[in-house]
Amino acid sequence: MPERRRAVLAMLLVLAALTAPAAEDPRALLLQARALQFRGGGEDPKGAVVLYRKVIALMPDSAEAHLRLSESLQEAMDPEAAVAPAEKAVALAPQNAEAQAHLGLLHYQRAQKNPEVAPLAARALRAAAARLPQDPELWARLGEVCEQTKDSEGALRAWLRLGRLRPSFTPAWERALIHSRAIQDYDGKREALLALNARNPEDRNLRLLEELAREQIKVGYLAHAEESFLLLARHLPTEAGLWENVSLIRMQTARYAEALETLARAEALKPGPTLTFHAARALMNLGRFAEAEAGLAALVNAPAGVDWIEDGAQMLYAESLLAQGRTETLLNFLRLRPASPRTDGEALAFKAQAFISQKDWRSALAVIREGVVSHPKNVFFRQAARLPEPQLAYNLFSRREAEAALEQLHLEGLAALWQEFGRWDKCLETLEHARRLAPVTSVDLLVMQSQAYDQLDRHAEALVVLREAQALEPNNPLVQNNIGYLLLEQDQNLEEAAALIEKSVKATPNSGSVVDSLGWAQFKLGRFKEAEATLRRATELTPYSPEVRKHLGEVLVKLERLPEAAEQWERALAFVFPERAALAKRLSELRARIARAHVATPEAAEPTPAKTTVPDDDEDEDQL
């Protein structure tokens, strides 16, 4: 019997063990609760609340349990009760982007009924968007909340970010445009208008883009203006004026081959004397003087009825003849042209040069004496007035000296013509010829020669010529600045360069380019704080100089103020300049660096705006 009792007792113990309640598993409870949530496909968020509270009792430091509890309370239509567990989840896991996003959207929901919650919602949504910058809903809700709190700047940034994420979502760009105009934010307005006009724009947005393009021209943002006019021309290809505006920008930025292409498009739509004149200018800058002459001859023989075109065409025609050495045709033209007070001095100078080219020294001297008296401000006659009296007498005893002086004067004028049209090889050749005729006493000639050498990448020779100019006029501020800047660019004698530029600044304190040179010298010497202050002053003096903005950006990079540096380089890209593509590449790299730093410490700063471009997205995304 004892054995039988022991067997029965053992069986009872097993049965008791099998029927006793097991210790609750929090992971299993989490799974069960999740299945009850709407998010998990269930239909009992209140039941999920009960289970999540059991989990929290077992695991009070579980961020996930607090987050899911908050979600369930929100689903159960109790957003106020959902706040505490949501905040607890963020406090327990501040790196948890999902918890941040949930808290932000929860506060947004509450703010729809209680406007006093809106500032709290804005802060939470900013924190969430910093963690999840690719989430369009966060930016949309942030934009709405910022509007609710009258924060136009915050709303603008949010709608712009949403627009970049969803380029074809028109409401985002429309809201961004409203706020950018309200706070006069140029960059935001530009980006929004480019986006709104990228696909199938409304007439109103096209008109606003044209207004923006004209504003851009006024302030010198020619790269941006060209972009705007090209976009307008894409939608309105038969508007000749748009192509003409693009051409004028390209002319102004010395891109003459491109200008000829768009001038041809404009002329095919609506020919006229203005387009012919601009085409001739472009051709001359490309060295195609014979082609330019043909168009100008038509303008000269058939007056346009517009003073500036008639005067400009006559003088450009004279220059084309002089550049080709067709002096007899030039003299015949000048004899027949009607008098014009606006251009008579220039015409007289061309006449003197034509006579010198023909070695008609007496006729040339007679014209020069007339010009020195009647047109003393003309550059050619101002230079002639500096010649010694014996060289202007042209008698038996000074003939050779006079001829050399006159030919040198003519060659200087011819070199200035080549300089005007960017023909630096011809300019240098002409100046070297002039220097062989007689010793140089003109600092202006030496400065022009150094510029020609520099443009032809012969920098060492440019410096030698500037040293000659320095010997002639040691205190000439232009020479001081040019020597200093050339030394800086070659990383030579930086202390001397800075000293020379400082002297130039003292003589010309309001010259933005000279102040820029000083800031660049301070940068090269590692004096970054001084350089920043100096270059800020240069931006005030020359606010539309890309070179100054580039330099200031370099300084700010050294000072580790990367978003400010990016802003300066972005502003530089509003202009057209030879190194624009290289700077755009550097800006892209800098923005990537800023983005990486922001991902590492998202709470440190607001996300840096991306580069302003026309979105290229063919998808239809009319709703989020």
Question: 10 Å Cβ neighbour count for 114?
Answer: 13
Lowest mean pLDDT among 73-77, 83-87, 224-228, 613-617: 613-617
Sign of CA dihedral 216, 220, 222, 226: positive
Q: Which residue bears the tokens 């000296």? A: 401
pLDDT of residue 601: 62
pLDDT in tens, 259-287: 999 999 999 999 999 999 999 999 999 99
| Res. 617: pLDDT tops 50 | no
Tokens representing 403?
Answer: 């001829």
Task: For each of the domains in the chain, give its residue range(s) and CATH number, in order of start.
Answer: 439-509 (1.25.40.10), 529-603 (1.25.40.10)
Instruction: Give the whole-number percent of the chain exceeding pLDDT 70.
Output: 90
Burial class (CB in 10 A: 0-12, 13-18, 19+), 619: exposed
pLDDT bin (cut points 50, 70, 90) of residue 304 is low
Lowest mean pLDDT among 52-66, 158-172, 394-408: 394-408
pLDDT bin (cut points 50, 70, 90) of residue 621 is very low
| Res. 20: pLDDT tops 80 | no
pLDDT in tens, 467-508: 999 999 999 999 999 999 999 999 889 999 999 999 999 999
Q: What is the pTM of this model?
A: 0.81
Cα–Cα distance for residue pair 405/387, rounded to 1 Å: 8
Tokens representing 510?
Answer: 């309001």
pLDDT bin (cut points 50, 70, 90) of residue 393 is low
Phi, psi of 28 (to 5 degrees): -65, -40
pLDDT bin (cut points 50, 70, 90) of residue 442 is confident
Lowest mean pLDDT among 176-180, 553-557, 594-598: 594-598
Phi, psi of 580 (to 5 degrees): -60, -45
Tokens representing 109?
Answer: 């929901």
**Taking a C-beta distance cutoff of 8 angstroms, is the pair 110, 126 a contact?**
no
pLDDT of residue 413: 93
Burial 534-561 (b: 16+ CB within 10 A, else e): bbebbbebbeebbbbbbbbbbbbbeeee
Q: Which residue bears the tokens 């003459």? A: 256
| Res. 18: pLDDT tops 70 | no
pLDDT bin (cut points 50, 70, 90) of residue 10 is very low
79-106 average pLDDT score: 96
| Res. 401: pLDDT tops 90 | no
46-69 average pLDDT score: 94
Q: Which of the given ranges, 376-390, 529-543, 570-584, has the highest pLDDT on average?
A: 529-543
Tokens representing 300?
Answer: 């000269």
pLDDT of residue 161: 97
Question: 10 Å Cβ neighbour count for 19?
Answer: 7
pLDDT of residue 1: 44
